[in-house]
Structure 1
Amino acid sequence: MTPLLLLVALGSVQASKVNSFDTFDEVRQVTTLEAQVTTVPGPDGSQALQATFQPTEWPHVMLAPAQPWDWSAAGGIAIEVTNPGKETVPFGIRVDDDPKADGWLHSRTGNGAIAPGKTETFVVMFGPDPMSVGMRGMPPTPGLTGLGTNGGGTFDSSHVAALQLFLHRPARATTLVLDNIRTVPRVSLERIVDRFGQYARGDWPGKVHQDAELPARAKAELASYSAVADRDRFGGWKTGPKLRPTGFFRTERVRGKWSLVDPDGGLFFSFGIDTMGQGESTFVTGRDAMFTWLPSPADPLSRFRTSQGGAHMGPIKSGEAYNFYQANLLRKYGENFSEAWRETALRRLPAWGFNTIGNWSDDRFMKNGTVPYVATAGVYGDHARIASGSDYWGKMHDPFDPHFVEDVTRGLVGVAAKVKGDPWCVGYFVDNELSWAGSGSDGRYGLALGALSAPKGSPAKAAFIQQLRAKYSDIGRLNQEWKTTFPDWAALDLPIEFQSLTDIQRTDLSKFVHTLALRYFTVVRDELRKLDPDHLYLGCRFAWSAPEAEEAAAEVCDVVSFNIYAPKLGPEWDRVKQFDKPCIIGEFHFGALDRGMFHPGLVATPSQAARAAMYEEYVKSVLKNPAFVGCHWFQYIDEPLTGRWFDGENYNIGLVDVTDTPYPEITSAARRIHSQSYVLRWGRPMAKPAAPKPRWKRHKRRLRGRRKVPPVLRKPMLQ
């Protein structure tokens, strides 16, 4: 849709207490997409901007200056936001240094959420780039709510071309009031981390101040645990319908809804926690000034100082890193901390209503005999790859390369050896967030376009050309349908690029993406069945929309998996019903910034209480969708405050913090909704029919019920 352009009269929209510009006089235009704007009185009597966003993909309000703003002396931009509605509103703030910005390059973006009836000031930092110091979110500005900052490359804060506030798919028309827009100073990064890995400049409920608090918390916590009621030994529905037991997990449709079935035949909805391990370390090399304390070489806690290399993102590619979480485990549980930590986790999960140890978790949870778990596997090696156009974690596997089969086997064999024969293993996730699609309107065809753009010798390219030859036989027919001028089939061996696509080209590209995906999933499935025929193949955890690949997964996998980061499952996820296969969510999370963390993760909430409420709402939405058989929270522990070493993520996404202290709001909410889950999904258990009485008793009852005949009317017995 073409953006609506509103010209704003000078001074008609005024902001108070502005550092970089006194009024909106410098704003020569307000660009809106699916949003209506007007002016209203602000909290202090000045004029504020009221925007009503419509339910579409990315409704937004953008402020653009006549000449770029020079904010080089500032550290970020603050906007006072009021939510006059009755529901929490997730939103984003974006700052661009160039009209060509795409939300990542030339942009700084922060995600937040505001509770109903509240007014709060939010800050997006743009200088320096957080990843230039190795973390995604920066420390907060005192008194304001900082938003974790996202963006790639450098950002020129002396040339700010636009400022916008946007929503993503609001369910209904949503109104926010924007006021008091101003720049804020940079925040010092010196001595921001205390000896426990916590934010040193703030205080909050649950913060640890002394070593002695940790063992005391451990003792009090263990005494409070009790598993949720009505669960069988695997965490399935104890009083629910009993299905055919097979000794391993399987799937079945029950009352019109898909379900996992545990080895004993109980209905099983999988509530999992990912990345159950002892945390990630954070780089200290070149960043010593950030920490108030680091252990000396003679300190027993120095054992948690390690060398890391090959970072995916950030300025430090290799160096020394420190694991504050492990240090706190030693303080909390003593020298035998690893075993105590494992046993504590295995007691926490049933107490919170979780029944699955999710992807990326510590191998020490395999064959634990207490809580079911999934196996994590991946495909690595030197086989060929294909570019999709959006290759965040790397290019896509080329499954037509003969070496791909060998690498699949190599990636599975070690994991299969650890879990084969164990009834507590639900199944295997193989790979994660693969590059199935590119960006833009034709992104779904990215792998087919990537194959065509590859040089001669690409196995995928050869497979695509073979598929085209089988359809068109003659190069002239291909040229006629594709509107191209290839002299012969050999011309397709050269790298080919398209500026635009025809409908017929899209049809052929779509078919090849499906063919490639079907080949990928079939190879993985077949190799997995050879190594371990008893456990489920749970798919590859789709993170980007890729319809052709999803359809192929549904044809091959036992369960189709998605990582779905959203406040809840919307009606768009009804589309998975067409697959006629069970689906599972491999990752979701929400975060908040009221407990000393710097970034809320991929879905922001205003507070820990709001995070807990959103957890319940998300789970309810999954339970209502008949295709889904589970959802797994990412992750068990908050990420390091100053960023995990390999990509700088420092999100508040844990169920426990860096001191191994559970967040009571969300863990209580999890227990509450999980306790209701089976009844919410299938209704209350059906009453068991009365056992039939023996036939001789039924016959006697019929005799007693007959009308008696006087003896004189009875016929005499025949002699």
Structure 2
Amino acid sequence: MKKSFRFLFSGLAALLCLAVLAGPAPAGSAEGFGTVRESGVWWLTLPGGPRFFSMGVNTVNGGDKKTRDRGYYFENFYPDQAAWAADTQKRLYAWGFNTRGGWSDPTKAMTLPMVPEIDLGRNARLHWFDPFAPDALELTIAKARELTAPYRDNPAVIGYFTDNEVGWWNAPLFKWYLGNEWASYAKRHVWRMVYDHYQGKWDKLLADFVPAVGYNSFEDLQKGGAELKLRPGGRGIALINKVTAACAGRYYELVFKALRAVDPGRLVMGARLPLYYNQDAVLASRGFLDVLSTNYNVDTPDGWVAPYYFDGLAKLTDTPVLISEFFFAANENRSGNVNNGHLMHVATQAERATGASAAVRHFAAFPNVAAVHWFQYYDEPTGGRGDGEDFNMGLVDIHNAPYETLLAAMAPANREAPAIHAASPARTTPPQPAVVPIHRAAAPVSLTDGALADWPDKAGTRLPWLRIPAPHVPFGDVHMSWSQDGLNLFHLAQNYADLFLLAYEGEFPISETYQLQIEVDAGAGLRRFAACLLPQPHRKYPGRFELVPRLFRIEDDGRLTRIDETGLVQVLDKPLPHIALEMRLPAKELGLAKLSPGQGLSLRISATTFYREMTMTLGAPAQGRGKKDADKPFAAILADK
């Protein structure tokens, strides 16, 4: 099936040569950039119609004069901007890149296509002010006209990122708008949603929420300062997600209509989601985006990209995806960057090159990913940029010298990306077999190394049949292997949670934790286990939480019996919304002395997010139309490979 959008404007004929990166053009033509889906694969299209896979770089600009003594600045290396532009574009083409990403110089001395980030929502005061005000669209159009003025006559502009890292963090939006004064239209909108959700019955609200002192009725909630906290055991998170969807939908509607009004020939390319997506917000964006953009923090140092993330977006939205940032940094670098945070970094430039090039190939293999943009052109200044971030993210160092090892690996991957992408329909999930083979561990699995390096065959160990009620999609992946001493699992997922939103005292309630539950019968009777992730203030990152694992045996009567987690469970050091859990279920806990090849198992696996917001399950395959068997266990066998 082919689905295409065309946007008209003139010029840019010189860029047609880029079409060779992606093979023959689709049928039809147009005079502007667009998108097309052919045989299930999404592409961007150049003026005139040829398709292309966008390999971009962020911050293709001359740097900051204020940090020229400790950072990259073009006048340190070039006589003028024209010389900088010519050399930089020549380099990028040689390295297999074909697009300028966010925060790049719009100079017409370069012919590379580009996507400006214009902060439309922030400048139009849509996020934390009053997007439901009657004049919100009028104000957004006026601001869009102002912000697009520098770009409207530039034929290299593909479209616009409307903002950067709009996360749709559900609880902060709910708390902010509910706490506003009644004069705010957003406050009234949220209050009406609360009232309607509970049909005006205060006792129903109290089953889900604990109101602030002095707020004892729906009328009280109309006052400024109103606050509702989740009640443990309640289902208030469902209402919060409805409010999030309403706010996100209003944002996407306003920025889409505004950009169509002032620059209808350009693509609306989203708000660069921040390494995470809220499913209800993505669903609310349908019909208001031409391209969905998301940043991505690669999951492991070997460049593995968890398939659930992009497979999920393919189901939630009917647009191509542009990866607006990905990156790899190394402690071994020439700019003195210390890599002071949780973003992907490794020890050496050789490891950086291996991981980054592998990630490009993984990204290109998703049919819905039509663009991959690297962050960024040059390293951050020695000592860090203005907000303190200090990472070796550059293709070149602060002295303008390319990282040759990195680029020697990335350039071939960049050039191969279009062919990999064209072949991506072959990457399909097979039906769940009647008996699922569990692979033998390729290496001893360490539960104390803080890494997943002992899982070299991540594709082979993945169990890709997790299910969740529509319209939502699985929010993570589960991998499993075995060795004589037990079953090994690792779990990558995403779950944002405002951990101050819950009304509780003492330790965080187990019922509200993120949980991975495993039921297994290895021939010695059914055993049930739960790995629960308790949040605590993070030791390294102020204002964030870290997750501390607790491992339990679930008794027949539902009681939880604590199992010593030492050497059995580890949570990788990634702050929320990232979940990275590795664990082992020892053979003795399964009632056996050891596991053996050919041994049959009965298994059921489920994961539940904080506050029981969503649960995804891997159970028996469905038998017949409409029949749901996820609550039944599935059969597995320990494969001798």
Deviation (angstroms), 1:503: 4.9
Q: Which amino acid aligns with 2:83?
A: A
Report what 1:496 is aligned to: 227
Report whether the alignment pairs 1:599 with 2:334: no
Task: Please give the alpha-carbon distance, in whole angstroms, between the structure 2 residues aligned to 1:600 and 1:381.
Answer: 28
Conserved 8 A contact 1:236-1:269 = no
Deviates more, 1:260-269 or 1:409-418: 409-418
Conserved 8 A contact 2:56-2:98 = yes
Report what 1:427 is aligned to: 159
Change (3 A) 1:239 1:545: closer
TM-score under structure 2 length normalisation: 0.57
How many residue pairs are counted as aligned between the two chains?
A: 396
Report what 2:285 is aligned to: 553
Conserved 8 A contact 1:636-1:656 = yes
Residue 376 of structure 1 aligns to a residue whose secondary structure is coil
Report what 1:264 is aligned to: 48
Change (3 A) 1:383 1:538: closer
Report what 2:261 is aligned to: 530
Q: Which amino acid aligns with 2:417?
A: S
Residue 648 of structure 1 aligns to a residue whose secondary structure is coil
TM-score under structure 1 length normalisation: 0.51
Change (3 A) 1:427 1:410: same
Task: Please give the alpha-carbon distance, in whole angstroms, between the structure 2 residues aligned to 1:586 and 1:241.
Answer: 24
CA displacement 1:94-153 (0-9 Å, x = unmatched)? xxxxxxxxxxxxxxxxxxxxxxxxxxxxxxxxxxxxxxxxxxxxxxxxxxxxxxxxxxxx
Q: Which amino acid aligns with 2:81?
A: S
CA displacement 1:580-614 (0-9 Å, x = unmatched)? 32111111111112233232362112211221111
Residue 667 of structure 1 aligns to a residue whose secondary structure is helix
Report what 2:249 is aligned to: 518
Deviation (angstroms), 1:406: 4.9
Change (3 A) 1:233 1:385: closer
Report whether the alignment pairs 1:675 with 2:430: no
Q: 2:179 aligns with which of 443, 449, 453?
A: 453
Change (3 A) 1:551 1:445: farther
Deviation (angstroms), 1:235: 5.0
Deviation (angstroms), 1:484: 7.1
Task: Please give the alpha-carbon distance, in whole angstroms, between the structure 2 residues aligned to 1:330 and 1:382.
Answer: 31
Conserved 8 A contact 1:591-1:599 = no
Task: Please give the alpha-carbon distance, in whole angstroms, between the structure 1 residues aligned to 2:332 and 2:78.
Answer: 27
Task: Please give the alpha-carbon distance, in whole angstroms, between the structure 2 residues aligned to 1:592 and 1:350.
Answer: 24
The gaps in structure 2 that reach 5 residues or longer are 1-14, 425-641
Report whether the alignment pairs 1:658 with 2:398: yes
Q: 2:117 aligns with which of 352, 376, 379?
A: 376
Change (3 A) 1:456 1:610: same
Change (3 A) 1:478 1:491: farther
The gaps in structure 1 that reach 5 residues or longer are 1-230, 284-303, 305-321, 387-395, 438-443, 685-719
Deviation (angstroms), 1:409: 3.0
Residue 293 of structure 2 aligns to a residue whose secondary structure is strand
Deviation (angstroms), 1:344: 0.9
Q: 1:580 aligns with which of 318, 323, 330?
A: 318
Conserved 8 A contact 1:379-1:407 = no
Task: Please give the alpha-carbon distance, in whole angstroms, between the structure 2 residues aligned to 1:607 and 1:407.
Answer: 49
CA displacement 1:301-328 (0-9 Å, x = unmatched)? xxx6xxxxxxxxxxxxxxxxx56533xx
Percent identical among aligned pairs is 28
Task: Please give the alpha-carbon distance, in whole angstroms, between the structure 1 residues aligned to 2:22 and 2:368.
Answer: 22
Q: 2:24 aligns with which of 240, 243, 264?
A: 240
Deviation (angstroms), 1:493: 1.4
Conserved 8 A contact 1:591-1:611 = yes
Deviation (angstroms), 1:234: 3.7
Residue 115 of structure 2 aligns to a residue whose secondary structure is strand
Conserved 8 A contact 1:280-1:639 = no
- Superposition pairs of residues 62-461 of structure 1, within 5 angstroms: 232-235=16-19, 237=21, 239-280=23-64, 322=69, 324-326=71-73, 329-334=74-79, 337-364=80-107, 367-368=108-109, 370-379=111-120, 396=128, 398-402=130-134, 404-420=136-152, 422-437=154-169, 444-461=170-187
Report whether the alignment pairs 1:622 with 2:363: yes
Conserved 8 A contact 1:282-1:643 = no
Task: Please give the alpha-carbon distance, in whole angstroms, between the structure 2 residues aligned to 1:384 and 1:678.
Answer: 39
Conserved 8 A contact 1:234-1:355 = yes
Deviation (angstroms), 1:570: 0.7
CA displacement 1:416-473 (0-9 Å, x = unmatched)? 2333365432110011112521xxxxxx444223322334433322111123344555
Deviation (angstroms), 1:624: 1.1
Conserved 8 A contact 1:248-1:424 = no
Task: Please give the alpha-carbon distance, in whole angstroms, between the structure 1 residues aligned to 2:76 and 2:99.
Answer: 28
Conserved 8 A contact 1:375-1:415 = no
Residue 345 of structure 2 aligns to a residue whose secondary structure is coil
Residue 629 of structure 1 aligns to a residue whose secondary structure is strand
CA displacement 1:148-203 (0-9 Å, x = unmatched)? xxxxxxxxxxxxxxxxxxxxxxxxxxxxxxxxxxxxxxxxxxxxxxxxxxxxxxxx
Task: Please give the alpha-carbon distance, in whole angstroms, between the structure 2 residues aligned to 1:657 and 1:576.
Answer: 34
Q: Which amino acid aligns with 2:379?
A: D
Task: Please give the alpha-carbon distance, in whole angstroms, between the structure 2 residues aligned to 1:524 and 1:351.
Answer: 36
Change (3 A) 1:608 1:413: same
Change (3 A) 1:382 1:577: closer
Residue 363 of structure 1 aligns to a residue whose secondary structure is coil
Task: Please give the alpha-carbon distance, in whole angstroms, between the structure 2 residues aligned to 1:476 and 1:500.
Answer: 14
Q: Which amino acid aligns with 2:313?
A: V
Report whether the alignment pairs 1:570 with 2:306: yes
Task: Please give the alpha-carbon distance, in whole angstroms, between the structure 1 residues aligned to 2:61 and 2:262.
Answer: 26
Conserved 8 A contact 1:282-1:642 = no
